[in-house]
Structure 1
Amino acid sequence: MLNLSLDWGPAAAFVYMMLFARIGAMLMLMPALGEQSIPMRLRLTFALLLTLVLYPLLSGLIPARPQSLGGLIELLFHELAVGIIIGAIIRITVMATQVAGAIVAFQAGLSGAMAADPTQQGMQSAVFASFLSFLGITLIFATDLHHVALAAIYDSYSVFTPTAPIMSEDALQLVLRTVASAFSIGIQMSAPFIVFGLVFNLGAGILARLMPQLQVYFILMPANIMAGLVLFGLLLVMMMGWYLTAFENHLAMWRG
């Protein structure tokens, strides 16, 4: 019994370390769960506890402890790389709100209005982009999509097993497709504002040609801002519904 206890301790620590490497890396980049506004100690504690919860379910998937230090480091970096790749790809998905917010701000004439974005490590962005990003994170919690994100962490072990080699080329292609998809979703979210901007600017240009003595910019600029705010309020539900659907589909990709 004494030998069993001595053998069990290092093996359990090895399995726990391998699980924490991937789970911690994914949670570090996961939207809603890995935001910089959440205290670092709280995020670390959550990652450690989640690893402990998933330990009985995933311990059988971790290979035996390598006998050499090089094999141990190689397996550790494999799990870190998989966690970072998956977390980064999901993080890229939520950047659709940044694209949509920047387009909305430009078309509404408020592209110069900047605000600190809590979801982008305190960096400044257009006020519409900051609002949409923060609202998106709030809706992820409100609609329980963070539960799907936690399930995706568990299901990632069936997609990328610890013994399988890292498919770097496939990962790069997936990153490119995710960037294109995030940009496409941002364009689709802000499509009504693109049409509004084209019509409004075309009308302003025609008016300026018909009445050269009229100061079109100073007259129509407040109207542009007001119309943009009204349109934003009317279409906000549609925009965020489209965003949540796209985010759920990306999470479902890791579960299927």
Structure 2
Amino acid sequence: MLAEYLSVNIFAFLLVFARLGAAFMVVPGFGEAFIPPRVRLAVALGVSFIVLPFAIDQLPGEPATPIELLLLLVGEMVIGLVMGGILRLLLSSLHIAGTIIAQQSGLAAAQFFDPAQMTQGAITSTFMTLMGLTMIFVTDMHHLFIEGTFATYRLFPAGQVPDFGSISQLITDFVQQSFLLGFQMSAPFLVFGITFYMGIGLINRLMPQVQIFFVAMPLQIVLSFAILAITIGAAMMWFISYYEEALMRFLGE
């Protein structure tokens, strides 16, 4: 009897861990490359232990064949990757916004390693991405994500074939939303860049002997930093509201 109890609960735990472990691999904050793998593994195991008593009634029985077990585990991992990947897409909106800001402020040549994207990027995109990660933890959005891990069993029941059409539509919507959010956060700089370049273009036509771009570059950078100081708070709050909205969709609220 004890052996049967242990085998059932170990199977249920591994099934929960397959979904949550895949989500914690890519979710912002926990799935960053600079987080040690042992830390990520410990967090995923701990959350799986917490979620298991609440989700065990919604888990299917143990499959009869290894093929069925493999398909079940793959389906759970796909759902976990979708959940974490969607939130990662929203974080990419900060990278998009920072790249546009760098292009409009003359800082595109100032490249810096972005630890969240694991690639070289403009210094403003790195700054905004790291600030977004900080805001996620400061506003306790990571607690909401942990709560959402259990809620996914209502949206994507375990043991059922995922609706790949709905998943594809969900990912498409969040990709579109991520690009839209990045452009919206950088909209003041797009207006500033168009206005500024039109102004220096007119000055260059009126005074062709002056090296207007050499003179205008320091002014462009100073004004860009001033606009960034004014708009960064609203941009971060905008991002957090979209991030919370995405988590609420997983919670079914």
- For the aligned pair, the TM-score class normalised by the smaller chain equals over 0.9
Q: Give, in whole Å, the separation in 1 of the partners of 2:211 and 2:49.
A: 67
TM-superposition CA deviations, 1:17-61 (whole Å, max 9, x none): 100000000111111122122111011011011111111111111
Q: Give, in whole Å, the separation in 2 of the partners of 1:136 and 1:177.
A: 21
Establish whether residue 108 from structure 1 lines up as the match of residue 105 from structure 2: yes
User: 3-state DSSP class of the match of 2:112?
Assistant: strand
| Residue of structure 2 in register with 1:207 after alignment | 203
Q: Give, in whole Å, the separation in 2 of the partners of 1:222 and 1:215.
A: 13
Q: Give, in whole Å, the separation in 2 of the partners of 1:31 and 1:203.
A: 41
Aligned counterparts, 1:1-256, within 5 A: 4-121=1-118, 123-256=119-252
Q: Give, in whole Å, the separation in 1 of the partners of 2:11 and 2:190.
A: 54
Shift of 1:75: 0.7
The letter of the residue matching 2:169 is Q
Q: Give, in whole Å, the separation in 1 of the partners of 2:3 and 2:137.
A: 43
Q: Give, in whole Å, the separation in 1 of the partners of 2:209 and 2:51.
A: 72
TM-superposition CA deviations, 1:55-88 (whole Å, max 9, x none): 1111111111011111111111110111112211
Q: Give, in whole Å, the separation in 2 of the partners of 1:245 and 1:24.
A: 26
Q: Give, in whole Å, the separation in 2 of the partners of 1:130 and 1:168.
A: 33
The letter of the residue matching 1:190 is S
Question: Runs of 4+ in structure 1 displaced over 6 angstroms?
Answer: none
Shift of 1:182: 0.4
Q: Give, in whole Å, the separation in 1 of the partners of 2:131 and 2:34.
A: 14
Q: Give, in whole Å, the separation in 1 of the partners of 2:100 and 2:203.
A: 24
Q: Which runs of 5+ in 2 are unaligned?
A: none
What is the TM-score normalised by the length of structure 1? 0.96
Shift of 1:164: 2.5
TM-superposition CA deviations, 1:222-255 (whole Å, max 9, x none): 1101111111111110111111111111111111
RMSD over aligned CA atoms reads 0.9
User: 3-state DSSP class of the match of 1:119?
Assistant: coil
Q: Give, in whole Å, the separation in 1 of the partners of 2:35 and 2:142.
A: 15
Q: Give, in whole Å, the separation in 2 of the partners of 1:45 and 1:129.
A: 30
Percent same amino acid at aligned positions?
Answer: 33
Q: Give, in whole Å, the separation in 2 of the partners of 1:184 and 1:255.
A: 23
Shift of 1:154: 1.1
Query: How many residues get paired?
Result: 252
Q: Give, in whole Å, the separation in 2 of the partners of 1:33 and 1:252.
A: 19
What is the TM-score normalised by the length of structure 2? 0.97
User: 3-state DSSP class of the match of 2:121?
Assistant: strand
Moved more, 216-225 or 28-37: 28-37
Q: Give, in whole Å, the separation in 1 of the partners of 2:172 and 2:206.
A: 47
